[in-house]
Amino acid sequence: MIFGYARVSTDEQNLDMQLDALNRYGAEKIYKEKMTGTRKDRPQLEELLKVLRKGDKVVVYKLDRISRSTKHLIELSEQFNELDVDFISISDNIDTSTAMGKFFFRMMASIAELERDIISERTKSGLEAARARGRMGGRPSKQSEKVETALKMYKSKDHTIREITEATSLSKTTLYRYLNKIE
């Protein structure tokens, strides 16, 4: 089956141009969405992904209509590949049922993997350099005397949580985290 996916970013925008192109291509069912592509939760896209079966095709007018980022596009293409579903972008002349289309997506996946590896290497190198200079990562610890005061106030049962947090400037979450450590 040929599925189409059309999306515009706001309710005021119009899907007609995309719908016309998808209908010309032969889309049998079109999923339509009117919401920004930066949102991860897109109900119509999720619904489309649920109904896909081996041999289906997913057609979009343009790549930016289905994906919110290169990373997301690669994740979708990997999902399509696992399901043995072809992906077509009309305006971008991409069709994964062809050798060039498959090559394009493999290159994108390789570039994304390289980017992830480079970021990971940089992060590890940066952390090692910081440790060598005596700096440790993570959140700074709360002043131990404030924590001790908060715990004493709590154990005395004379103070409410609000009074303890106001007196010590600790958040409720921090207070409970330290209380859980001693229980």
Catalytic annotation, residues: 9
> Could you tell me the two tokens for 20?
């016309």
Residues in the chain: 183
3-state secondary structure of 69: coil
CB atoms near residue 166 (< 10 Å): 11
Residue with token string 């007018």:
61
Terminal Cα-to-Cα distance of the chain (whole angstroms):
59
Q: What are the φ and ψ backbone dihedral angles of 168, each rounded to 5 degrees? A: -105, -10
Structure tokens at 73: 């596009």
Please say whether the beta carbons of 182 and 154 come within 8 A.
no
Scanning 96-143, the segments in alpha helix (DSSP H) are 99-132
